[in-house]
Amino acid sequence: MAQLVPSPTYWLSGRVAVVTGATGGIGRAIALELAKAGADIVVHGYRRPEAAQSLAAEIQEVGRTCRVLIADLAEEQPVNEFSAAAWAWRGRADIWINAAGADVLTGEAAQWPIEKKLESLWQLDVRATIRLSRTIGEQMKARGSGVIINIGWDQAEQGMAGDSGQIFAAVKAAVMAFTRSLAQSLAPEVRANCLAPGWIRTGWGEQASPYWQDRAARQSLRNRWGTPEDVARAALFLASPAADFINGQVIAVNGGFKYE
């Protein structure tokens, strides 16, 4: 007999979720979406601790409890300390979202040489994701259940011209391939999936030139930019009991890619 799935409003009731990079656009939206569905949240931040505290207040306003942890996940020891503290908060993590990623498109980092951008992306987007997923995944497997969701990129497999396209494709394709193998290693107790957002209007998108504004809308079959909330709703579904039979998948959140 098929298992009954509760209403989305209660999908995550009683669950504990950890969201890295929760001060960024996508991570913040995911943390709020999971809280609204009933989860208590560990909010991770680093460069903007005030944004982490603001998000925690919003989570508490929807009736959920929250803990803020500040850590530089680009470094090995803080990764170890963060994963231990996040797990210790409630003695478990039912859902783990690796949304932390290096911003090399805005601010001072936009002027870095490509080698420095690649190193920053590799340390945070890839290495930290792998370390956290492996450590927490083994603890989830020992407990008998858990969900891990990583963040890729919808154009990683087909490629995009330019310096940014090259390094983002290399980095995010690594995350996507790792997630598929992680699912094989942690099954059947733990599900691991990857979301691959397309053109999502976060910090860079808000200040992009008219060319990129047009291109982002033109390359989606929905003829618009995606929003962090679009990605958050997909994350909620994958984290929920409704997605119990979805594992080892990379799911594009892009409105349908329009080939030109």
Domains and their CATH numbers in the chain? 11-248 (3.40.50.720)
Contact yes or no for 133/186 (Cβ under 8 A): no
What is the per-residue pLDDT for 105? 85
Question: Degrees (nearest 5) of the Cα angle 174, 130, 157?
Answer: 15
Residue 8 is predicted with a pLDDT of 65
Task: Give me the pLDDT at residue 1, please.
Answer: 42
Please count the residues of the chain: 260
The Cα–Cα gap between 17 and 19 comes to 7
Task: Tell me what pLDDT residue 214 has.
Answer: 85
Note the pLDDT of residue 65. Answer: 97
Residues near 216 by Cβ (< 8 Å), separated by ≥ 6? 199, 201, 205, 208, 225
Using 70 as the pLDDT threshold, list the residues of the chain that sit under it.
1-9
pTM of the model: 0.94
Residue listed under structure tokens 């699912």: 183
Q: What is the pLDDT of residue 239?
A: 98
